[in-house]
């Protein structure tokens, strides 16, 4: 069941992670091209700059470039154009004597002092297209993270269900007597007994239609007497076993810990010792790391 939940959550997350940069890239390319900017360069900046910084910079810079269009032929024009260079439509009022651009409420041309007509009916007013796409993208950028956070909370709230966890502790000498596997002995001999990291053998298999993973853990700094707790967390990226160990008085480095998890999916290992995360050197093996009488098959 947890695998299905993770899949349901992961699919829209991956879709959104791809859809947002693609949408931003398409929008920036079209908008920059319309404003006669370097469309390819700005698209790369907007898509690949982290945390939408490139997109924000583009939105600030693009205001310096005109996005006006001719009201007659829809060609891109500059705000200072008097006529459209494509269709010749008159875009601004001008003096009939010297063709100097003037304002509608002027009575006299400032250049030649020619009286200006009260009305100029041959002007085609430039237009600025409504940018509805930008608001849609900004809305998605704001709303989608909120939705993803909610999905993450829902996903991670499924803790301790859908699987079983078993734990066994055994002295190294006794373990080597019980387990007839020379590769495990060689592995233990290669482990640094002075190290503060954990050495782990990982064995995955399927039992009665369920996924089973076993972790054989050798932690040199762990005392023979300790407190143990384990929780299961089903997240967007899979199931995690959180194993928390707390040292109690005792001689360190003499015992092995065997953790078995069985559920709908395999579980990754997260190990903490006295509240601090422990670095794990995990080796995946294709042979069983414990006889059945340690923890039932």
DSSP codes, the chain: -HHHHHHHHHHHHHHHHHHHHHHHHHHHHHHHHHTTS-HHHHHHHHHHSGGGHHHHHHHHHGGGS--EE-TTT--EE-TT-SB-TTT--B-S-B-TTT--B--TT-SB-TTT-PBPPS--TTB---B----HHHHHHHHHHHHHHHHHHHHHHHHHT-BS-SEEEEEEEEEHHHHHHH---HHHHHHHHHS-TT-SSEEEEEEEEEETTEEEEEEEEE-TT-BSSEEEEEEEEEETTEEEEEEEEEE-SS-BS-EEEEEEEEESS-EEEEEEETTEE--EEEEEESS-SS-TTTS--
- What was the pLDDT predicted at 156? 54
Q: What is the mean pLDDT of residues 76-103?
A: 83
Query: pLDDT band at 278, cuts 50/70/90?
Result: very high
Q: Which tops the pLDDT comparison, 131 or 41?
A: 41
Determine the pLDDT at residue 201: 95
What pLDDT score does 191 carry? Answer: 92
| pLDDT higher than threshold 70 for residue 4 | no
Least Cα distance to 255 among 214, 225, 290 occurs for 225
Higher pLDDT, 151 or 136: 136
CA dihedral sign, ordered 34, 36, 40, 45:
negative
Contacts 24+ apart (CB under 8 A), 59-67: 59/134, 62/31, 62/32, 62/35, 62/37, 65/35, 65/36, 65/37, 66/35, 67/31, 67/34, 67/35, 67/128, 67/129
* Gyration radius of the chain over CA positions: 35
pLDDT band at 160 (very low <50, low <70, confident <90, very high): very low
Q: Give the tens place of pLDDT for each residue, 164-214.
A: 888 888 889 888 888 888 999 999 999 998 888 999 999 999 988 889 999
Q: Average pLDDT of 266-284? A: 92
Query: pLDDT tens, 99-135?
Result: 788 887 888 988 898 888 877 777 887 777 777 777 7
Reported as a single tens digit per residue, the pLDDT across 44-63 is 998 888 878 888 888 888 87
Confidence of residue 235 (pLDDT cuts 50, 70, 90): low
Can you name the residues that pair with 108 across neighbouring β-strands? Answer: 115
Q: How confident is the model at residue 297 (pLDDT cuts 50, 70, 90)?
A: very low
Model's pTM, two decimal places? 0.50
The larger pLDDT score, comparing residue 153 to residue 284, is at: 284
- Look over the chain and give the mean of its residue pLDDT values, rounded to a whole number: 82
């Amino acid at each position: 069941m947890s695998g299905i939940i993770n899949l349901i959550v992961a699919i829209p997350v991956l879709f959104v992670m791809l859809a947002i940069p693609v949408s931003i890239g398409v929008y920036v390319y079209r908008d920059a091209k319309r404003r006669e900017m370097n469309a390819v360069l700005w698209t790369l900046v907007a898509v690949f700059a982290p945390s939408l910084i490139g997109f924000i910079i583009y939105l600030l810079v693009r205001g310096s470039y005109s996005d006006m269009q001719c009201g007659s032929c829809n060609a891109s024009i500059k705000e200072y154009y008097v006529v459209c260079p494509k269709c010749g439509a008159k875009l601004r009022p001008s003096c009939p004597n010297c063709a100097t651009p003037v304002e509608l409420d002027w009575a006299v041309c400032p250049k030649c002092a020619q009286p200006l007509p009260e009305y100029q009916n041959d002007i085609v007013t430039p237009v600025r297209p409504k940018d509805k796409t930008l608001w849609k993208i900004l809305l998605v950028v704001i709303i989608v993270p909120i939705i993803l956070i909610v999905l993450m909370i829902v996903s991670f709230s499924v803790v301790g269900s859908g699987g079983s966890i078993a734990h066994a502790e055994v002295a190294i000498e006794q373990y080597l007597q019980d387990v007839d596997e020379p590769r495990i002995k060689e592995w233990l001999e290669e482990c640094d007994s002075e190290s503060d990291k954990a050495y782990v053998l990982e064995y995955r298999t399927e039992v009665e239609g369920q996924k089973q993973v076993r972790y054989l853990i050798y932690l040199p700094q762990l005392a023979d007497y300790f407190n143990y707790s384990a929780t299961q967390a089903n997240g967007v990226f899979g199931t995690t076993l959180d194993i928390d160990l707390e040292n109690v008085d005792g001689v360190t480095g003499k015992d092995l810990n065997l953790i078995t998890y069985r559920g709908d999916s395999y579980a990754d290992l997260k190990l903490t010792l006295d509240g601090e995360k422990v670095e794990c050197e995990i080796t995946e093996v294709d042979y069983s790391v414990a006889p059945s009488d340690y923890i039932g098959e």
